[in-house]
Structure 1
Amino acid sequence: MGMYFNVTYMIKSFPALLGMVHITLLVTLVAAVCGILLGAGIAILRIQKVPVVAPVLRVFISFMRGTPFLVQLFLAYFGVPEIFSHIGISMKGVPPLAFVLAVFSLHMAAYGAEILRSSILAVPVGEKEAAMSLGMTTWQMYRRVILPQAFHMAIPALINTVIGVVKGTSLIFNVGVVDIMRKAELMAGNSQRSLELYVDVAIIYGILIFLIARIGRFLERRHRDGRDLAELSEA
């Protein structure tokens, strides 16, 4: 085996690694959707200071934001089945990907909750008072008035969090999920050419993050243009 960097092998290996990108996209999409929805609910419960629930959620957020992805994955993958085994429930049939999706969704929810809580609190008080004066319930006020504005303000921070989730997916092979990183390791074991494969992996992740960042900028621009148009129509 030559020790030089083999560009030809890198190019030939790229399609095989790219073929596993659907796992990364699945984890990212599920985590983003579930995490943002859960995060919005958590943010509202914390703002409303619901007894018992709000303090528990604060501890949950501190834990999820204060511990590494890998630790959370291991606790879920090894700890949850152990806990359930003591009450007679076997989780041997649960695929590793299910644990990954749950952990990443909760991780995204913890970060999303803090982002959205800040955005909700940034909505002018006059908007809330106007909604209440129109006879809206608290739920209607959040759904029709506050959350749409909060989501728009939170777009940059939420996109950054989603990018963090994409980077975090590079760890899921540690619990048995065959993704881009695991495929690269398997191919490296057969070919003894790790560097070329990890360059491919870096390129794939770089492209994914670039595309997500572009989507974020598009959403920001669309919101800004829509807001400017609304202001012109009111003038």
Structure 2
Amino acid sequence: MNNAIDQAMIAKRMGLKSVVAATGAGQHGVATAAACVKLSLESTVFMGTSDMEKQSLNVLMMKLFGAEVKGVEGNFKDASSQAIREWSVIGKETRRQAMEKWGGKPDVLLACVGSGSNALGIFHEFVGDEDVRLIGVEAAGFGLDSGKHAATLARGEDEEGQIIEPHSIGVSPKLSFLKDTGRVEFYSATDEEAVEAYKRLRRIEGIIPSLEASHALAFLEKLCSTLPSGTKVIVHCSGRGDKDAATVLNYQQYSM
């Protein structure tokens, strides 16, 4: 609920009229709908039809709060994919701002990847632009060889080509396809690298990024040394890191 309220308040502050969300069991959808009705915003919630059948009470609650609940054939994965199509405005906004700032497209787009929603949101607009390099950065955790990572695409198979049992959430099928076709490159950053990037951006820019986005920022340092001068790079900072402050503190104490 706290997250839904924050997002609705941001939308209201920006002068937007509606909020789009995806939900699995329905709790996030109910929270979004409740926050929106309180702030006089419209809300659209995508939900898998199989989940709608199981969670009919939450569907009813969303509708009572005034949300438009759109059923998507399948489950939460499919609902998320449909919501991403709505969210892809971030990619359009990125193209517009790049044109205003540079008079053209960026050369490189960099985004963190968990399930892939934020990355697809910004990549979607540029998939057809072959001259724009798209890079996703997954969480390497304690390292790709540790067995404790979430790098499904960067290290999802063993040496014999067998699928490695995942330590964390799976990644979007669309991103898997874009990897297989070579359109998107995937790399990884460890916990230690992400935490250092988290602290560095806060110190240099006064911005506290989410730990998720910090993985992309961590890889940026490795990437820059390989790029020619003047390369136009955009990093998608997908969230704020207030929520991660305790996690960073605990990590520092653990790693000391």
TM-score by length of 2: 0.22
Q: Could you say which structure has the higher helix fraction?
A: 1
TM-score by length of 1: 0.23
Q: Could you say which structure has the higher strand fraction?
A: 2
- Looking at CA atoms only, which structure, 1 or 2, has the larger radius of gyration? 1
